[in-house]
Amino acid sequence: MAAKLPFFALLLTVCCPAASGSKQPHIVFILADDLGWYDVGYHGSEINTPHLDKLSAAGVRLENYYVQPLCTPSRNQLMTGRYQIHTGMQHQIIWPCQPYCVPLDETFLPELLSEAGYATHMVGKWHLGMYKKDCLPTRRGFHSFFGYLTGSEDYYTHIRCSPIAALNSSRCALDLREEEAAAPGYKGAYSTELFSQRAVRIIAKHDPKKPLFLYVALQAVHSPLQVPERYVAPYAFIRDPSRRAYAGMVAAMDEAVGNISLALRQAGLWANTVLVFSTDNGGQTLEGASNWPLRGRKWSLWEGGVRGVGFVSGPLLQRPASASRELVHVSDWLPTLVGLAGGRLNATKPLDGFDVWNTISKGFASPRLELLHNIDPMYNDIAPCPGSKRLRAFDGDAGVFRSGFNVSVHAAIRSSNWKLLTGYPGCDVWFPRPGQNGSSPGASEPLKPVMLFDVLKDPEERNEVSALYPAVVERLLGRLSHHQQSALPVHFPDEDPRCDPGPTGAWGPWA
């Protein structure tokens, strides 16, 4: 007679597939940069994305999925599973000369997967700090790295230009690294193709007996608007030159994703692969992107800034060819993927993310009932916004506390169907659908210091209903106050002039 399993061992066989001896899945995470909600074919765009459409149609499209409104915060939460208020990074991005990175006492996703036996590789954009070597990808869990340390590079020369205020000058220098060394030998190679080719090479060389974690953080479709003409040619009908170039960049990115998924099949890995695709934030309308019909854009807490394009694909999904409208957030990927890998979470600080694999794979209800978008007492939107002069109607409310929360502070929280915003959420207009001749950004009534929307019924955030639901308002203000109590002080240091790479150097660690 077989020995009876202890209860905890029996539990492992039920809840943790890797722990029960089943094969650990390969995990491929592809992150796009600044991809707008409207800019995929399956959301009705005029831009063709056949590979994204096909992969998502065979998988699970995440239609109630949220990211942060800027790149560093989203990447921070992806890697730590923790809200940015808990890492002191609730304000803006990391600029090239700022001497900080995601705190070194935070445990990163690749560290946990490496501990679980995975080969971990990163290709693409880091943007989580690089002022000293301990901040680099290869010091934070990745076995290999090929890509950028900052952002906004030239797609062909891989040079990043940045002002250095402390020196009262600007510097243009290479920002491309292979492992930890500058990689000057790739001038002329278009980064979308360069990064996808490197990802394909990693997949082809990988030992299928060992689980793979491949993180491909594409530069596309962030500005500058650069793309080979062959990708732009099919979009000659788009009159707006920025939108036309952007469409070509999306097409190149779509082809890159298709090449990566094909490589997984050719290497015999696809049958045991979970592929995740996500944007890092909403699209930047100043650079050809569209979040139509959602309000706002990148840098804002409106839906256009934080509702992200995302899907999961692969044969391991139990309910493929479906769309999930359950609440999922970028911070959920760490516990979800570590859980799939059979890894352990006991090395992390308290997580804000949830394991949502059963939600995605089986269609279960999401364990996430609430989502803190952000609390940033230093917020400023550096990009021009149409009609911005009318956005200061509530300046007199600065310092007014309700339910223990300062309602002049830039903040937003989601609870079930409700979304509450305080302070100035960022550029608030409705940018028209691309190609609508003669249309201009839609105006709204002057903003209020506290605004409430039912985003399930009103995803475009057109009907502000705080006066109708005062109890909901007070409850969510109380939740913001609760979160604020656990927030670290904002860490956003002044530039360090020692960052200067010199006329022939490369951006990289200097401290």
Least confident of 70-74, 251-255, 380-384, 449-453: 380-384
What local confidence, expressed as pLDDT, does residue 484 receive?
97
Is a pLDDT exceeding 60 seen at residue 14? no
Residue 381's pLDDT band, with cuts at 50, 70 and 90, is confident
Residue 9's pLDDT band, with cuts at 50, 70 and 90, is very low
Q: Rounded CA gap, 361 and 266, in Å?
A: 24
What local confidence, expressed as pLDDT, does residue 13 receive?
34
- Dump the DSSP string for 275-308: EEEEESS---GGGT---TTSS--TTSSSHHHHB-
End-to-end CA distance of the chain: 64
In tens, the pLDDT along 403-414 reads 899 999 999 999
* Nearest alpha carbon to residue 425 among 396, 449, 400, 454: 449
What local confidence, expressed as pLDDT, does residue 292 receive?
98
What local confidence, expressed as pLDDT, does residue 401 receive?
85
In tens, the pLDDT along 131-170 reads 999 999 999 999 999 999 999 999 999 999 999 887 888 9
Residue 232's pLDDT band, with cuts at 50, 70 and 90, is very high
In this structure, whether the domain defined by 371-485 belongs to CATH 3.30.1120.10 is answered with yes
From 51, 91, 127, 158, active-site residue? 127
Is a pLDDT exceeding 60 seen at residue 472? yes
Least confident of 90-94, 279-283, 344-348: 344-348
Residue 398's pLDDT band, with cuts at 50, 70 and 90, is low
Residue 397's pLDDT band, with cuts at 50, 70 and 90, is low
User: For the chain, which residues make up each domain, given as ranges?
Assistant: 23-369, 371-485
Backbone φ, ψ for residue 183 (5° rounding): -120, 85
Residue 163 bridge partners (DSSP): 170
Is a pLDDT exceeding 50 seen at residue 321? yes
In eight-state DSSP terms, residue 370 is E
Q: What is the mean pLDDT of residues 455-473?
A: 97
Q: What is the CATH number of domain 23-369?
A: 3.40.720.10
Residue 377 CB neighbour total at 10 angstroms: 16
pTM (2 decimals)? 0.94
Share of the chain above pLDDT 90, in %: 86
127 as an active site residue: the answer is: yes
User: What would the 3-class secondary structure string for 454-501 be?
Assistant: ECCCCCCCCCCCCCCCHHHHHHHHHHHHHHHHCCCCCCCCCCCHHHCC
Is a pLDDT exceeding 60 seen at residue 12? no
Is a pLDDT exceeding 80 seen at residue 443? no
Of the two residues 392 and 170, the one the predictor is more confident about is 170
Is a pLDDT exceeding 50 seen at residue 62? yes
Chain-centroid distance of CA 210 in Å reads 27
Of the two residues 246 and 20, the one the predictor is more confident about is 246
Pairing of β 328-329 and β 65-66: parallel
In tens, the pLDDT along 160-180 reads 999 988 788 899 999 999 999
Residue 400's pLDDT band, with cuts at 50, 70 and 90, is confident
In tens, the pLDDT along 323-364 reads 999 999 999 999 999 999 999 998 899 999 999 999 999 999
What local confidence, expressed as pLDDT, does residue 436 receive?
81
What local confidence, expressed as pLDDT, does residue 309 receive?
98
Is a pLDDT exceeding 60 seen at residue 20? no
**Which are the contacts of 172, defined by CB distance < 8 A and separation ≥ 6?**
159, 160, 161, 162
What local confidence, expressed as pLDDT, does residue 22 receive?
58
Q: Mean pLDDT of all residues in the chain?
A: 93
Place of tokens 């956003």: 492
Q: What is the mean pLDDT of residues 375-394?
A: 74
Q: What is the mean pLDDT of residues 214-220?
A: 98
Helix axes of 50-58 and 241-266: crossing angle, nearest 10 degrees: 50
Q: Rounded CA gap, 433 and 426, in Å?
A: 20
What local confidence, expressed as pLDDT, does residue 7 receive?
34
From 71, 97, 385, 427, active-site residue? 71
